[in-house]
Chains A and B, each alone.
Chain A
Amino acid sequence: MSKNRKFYIGGFIVSLFLAGVVSFYASSSPDGLEKVAGDIGFIETAKDHTYADGVLADYGVKGIENERASVGVAGVIGVIGTAVIAGVFFKIIARKPEKTKR
């Protein structure tokens, strides 16, 4: 079991590091779809996001001025949030009713 634990803790820490630290160095150029929309012109048809003023909108924490900290904290919150939600969700999915257990 300890090997199992090591693997999952390792994977989680790598994810935290990527979202919390490396994300600051990500390219801020428009992504493929945005770029195409801009070049061709249909970017004008985009509407503002419903939660554009949300606390974590665009992977930054509202109120944290330092950009590195803002994106880093947003990333960490996202990783922990995804871990909790996906963890519980897949645990429920994988649960086998006693009857069908062979």
Chain B
Amino acid sequence: MHIPDGFIDVPTSAAFVGLSAIGVGAALKGARTQLDDKTAPLAGLTAVFIFAVQMLNFPVVAGTSGHLIGAALAAVLVGPWAATLALTVVLLMQAFLFADGGLTALGLSVFNMSIISVWVGYAVFLLIKKILPKNKSSVAIAASIAAAISVPAAAFGFWIQYVIGATGTFSDSAVFTSMIGIHVLIGIGEAIITGLTVTAVLASRSDLVFGWKNNQKVLEIKNV
């Protein structure tokens, strides 16, 4: 969902650079409270893994592909603040080094994937985790459902931007239906990759996983 230059007009793109700057600025502050010497390397590895997996487009329906965004995955692994930063680092690398995602559209893409997708994913994760039993499989299941919803959430972000500032004159409602429809399908792939990855990390280093640590803290308090 890397937006090329030209889809959205310059004033709208500029406004979203501002909004994204506010969001990333807040994340810079917030991540300081959520990261420490022990978890910082995981945030780095999360960015690396997301970069790698974003190269792996999987077929969705005839003639369409999708790839991981990784927003819910990152939020569960390293917390939402660091997730916003990890996604932003990946998007910057892709735009400047690999010509993937327009430079003037960076504010738009960062807003959709580093901010909306991360925070919607994290909110869904917390919600689902609350209603499931407190164990590792629940964390993986909650992460998968969060991932499934985080993808159409990013598509919704694009739609808002399209409604505000599309340079084309095509019907808003047609864009809505197609964008959400296709990204609900891509969300299934996102859910599978996220669930498998969270399961693998929980199996080897659950002590590093943000979405699991919080769980344990709650348990510790209850036990005391």
Contacts and interface: CB of A to CB of B under 8 A. Distances in A.
Instruction: Decide if A and B are genuine partners.
Output: yes
Contacts of A37: 7
Interface of B: 1-7, 28, 31-32, 35-37, 39-41, 43-45, 47-49, 51-53, 55-60, 63-67, 82, 85-86, 89-90, 93, 96-100, 102-103, 155, 158, 166-168, 170-171, 174-175, 178-179, 182-183, 186, 204-205, 208
Interface string A14-32: 1110110011001111111
Top 6 closest pairs, chain A to chain B, by CB: A42-B168, A94-B40, A47-B6, A86-B47, A27-B65, A57-B99
Which one of A26, A31, A57, A82 has the highest number of Cβ atoms from chain B below 10 Å of its Cβ? A82
A10 B64 CA distance: 32
A85 to B, nearest CB: 6
A68 B62 CA distance: 24
Nearest to B167: A45
A90 B35 contact: yes
B55 A78 contact: yes
A79 interface: yes
Nearest to B102: A49
B13 to A, nearest CB: 12
Interface of A: 3-4, 7-8, 10-12, 14-16, 18-19, 22-23, 26-33, 35-37, 39-42, 44-52, 54, 56-59, 71, 74-75, 77-79, 81-83, 85-87, 89-91, 93-94, 96
A44 B96 CA distance: 23
Contact of A41 (B39, B40, B96, B168): B168
Given A31-B67, A79-B48, A81-B93, A94 B37 contact: yes
Contacts of B166: 42, 45
Contacts of B39: 94
A19 to B, nearest CB: 4
A41 B168 CA distance: 8
Contacts of B28: 93
Contacts of A49: 4-5, 99-100, 102-103
Contacts of A71: 55
Nearest to B86: A86
Given A42-B168, A78-B55, A54 B4 contact: no
B96 to A, nearest CB: 7
A47 to B, nearest CB: 4
B56 A18 contact: yes
Nearest to A55: B97
Nearest to B55: A23
Given A27-B58, A46-B5, A40 B174 contact: yes
A41 B99 CA distance: 22
Contact of A35 (B49, B53, B63): B63
